Amino acid sequence: MNPAPLSGLYAPSLSLVTDLYQLTMAYGYWKKGMQDQEAVFHLYFRRPPFNGGFAVCAGLAYAADWLENLRFSDDDLAYLRELRGAKGTPLFEAGFIDYLRELRFTCDVDAIAEGTVVFSNEPLIRVQGPLLQAQLVETALLTLVNFQTLVATKAARIREAAGSDTVLEFGLRRAQGFDGGLSASRAAYLGGVDATSNVLAGQRFGIPIKGTHAHSWVMAFEEEEAAFQAYADAFPDDSTFLVDTYDTLEGVRRAISVARRLRERGHELGGIRLDSGDLAYLSREARALLDEAGFPKVRIVASNDLEENLIVSLKQQGAKIDTWGIGTQLITAYDQPALGGVYKMAALRKPDNSGWDYTIKLSEQLVKTSIPGILQVRRYETDRGQARADMLYNTAEPLPDQLTIVDPLDPTRRRPIRSTQFRELLEPVFRQGRRVQKLPTLQESRARAHREVLSLDPSIRRFLNPHAYPVGLEQTLHEYRMQLILEKRAVRPA
């Protein structure tokens, strides 16, 4: 078996985008007759990425598309039929393969809209339905939501650092494969960048595409100025010259010479790009040369391993940069390789259908102890829409008249809720496997992200030691969780 390494990878069926243990658990549930027992799972993360104060939710559109098309093809089933256990016997019996052939997704799914700012322990997605199905979708949902949320959050931080400057995403060549590049370009645009160099992302998602030229363009000509002139001849109204191939400031002077000739022909140079060296110093010198020559509107684009903290530093140094090209640091979500999102069962219908058993996963670390119940996230806001606090509560149990939230990591930290203005963040997306919500466009989600980030207090948005946004368990949920912890945890002898 020697399949084409790329052309056949993204087949119509993506149902095998999962871990083996999802299928072995599904088989076990089927063998025990538990496949249709109703369960509730939550997808959430334990800490905001990049040591920051928030995250920007992304990836729901991909997840909804995957769920809608969850089918096991003949090729999928043929492969599963060939799998063998330790003794060489089939890993899955024929009846289970037949079951998978007829499987259709019938769960309810509620989710937080893409572009919403979110915090630790808040369910981004809630899946409720037959146990086997709700378990089976775990891996795909995590891989689709974790990565895009990570990149969207990084982009939002870069946008915060850049202010009103233009931000371009240039990272495709450093991405983790084609799909990593495509989904990251989408998430970066959602999080706040203005354009991408990724042409496929432009085609598929309607993201504006931008680009300059590489050093190889300059090196292909005997003289740097001749390279600039040739590029200007090809793109008289869309030229940005990369000026640091040999000597940066000499490159700026040569760009100015070509810009003069462009102007004589009725065109204007768009910009110059700095890709190495002391960007603060070089941008100031380049700006002075351009202004003195009568080109104050020529933009200065900077690249070279930029990220939010370096952008802030360059601005503090008086850099004259108005467009930031971000590549590796954004497309790979440097310096945090994964969000750390998890998917945990929180409720299981009793076998006799008399009610729910709320489930909890314990740990030696309190941060890894899950939250039981069928959870909703309620965000309290000011009259101006500024986020004040979030409350997690169990929708299957009545709420008390007086509301108090309790920090899940420090029960001594409590906060009474007096605000009457709130919104519920988890919204219906699927009911019994059918899509019931038309998801926002990417442009609408991007606008939401911009509004939501600005709704946070600056102390939460800052990069160094951000203030912790208040997220708590409704008090009766906290008390029930503590009761479960005590019931489940073994008492060890002294």
| CATH number of the domain within which 232 lies | 3.20.20.70
Structure confidence at residue 353 (pLDDT): 86
Question: Mean pLDDT across the chain, nearest whole number?
Answer: 95
* Whole-number Å distance between alpha carbons of 432 and 107: 5
* Whole-number Å distance between alpha carbons of 202 and 154: 20
Structure confidence at residue 385 (pLDDT): 85
Confidence of residue 363 (pLDDT cuts 50, 70, 90): confident
Whether 294 is covered by a domain: the verdict is: yes
Q: What is the mean pLDDT of residues 30-34?
A: 97
Whether 417 is covered by a domain: the verdict is: no
Whether 128 is covered by a domain: the verdict is: no
Q: What is the mean pLDDT of residues 142-158?
A: 98
Whether 387 is covered by a domain: the verdict is: no
Res. 491: pLDDT tops 90: no
Give the number of domains in the chain: 1
Structure confidence at residue 307 (pLDDT): 97
Whether 50 is covered by a domain: the verdict is: no
- Domain containing 226 equals 212-321
Confidence of residue 10 (pLDDT cuts 50, 70, 90): confident
Whether 239 is covered by a domain: the verdict is: yes
Whether 455 is covered by a domain: the verdict is: no
Task: Tell me the per-residue pLDDT of 436-446, one tens digit each, with 9 for 90 and over.
Answer: 999 999 999 99
Whether 60 is covered by a domain: the verdict is: no
* Whole-number Å distance between alpha carbons of 413 and 238: 57
Res. 306: pLDDT tops 60: yes
* Whole-number Å distance between alpha carbons of 449 and 452: 5
φ, ψ for residue 295, nearest 5 deg: -125, 60
Confidence of residue 354 (pLDDT cuts 50, 70, 90): confident
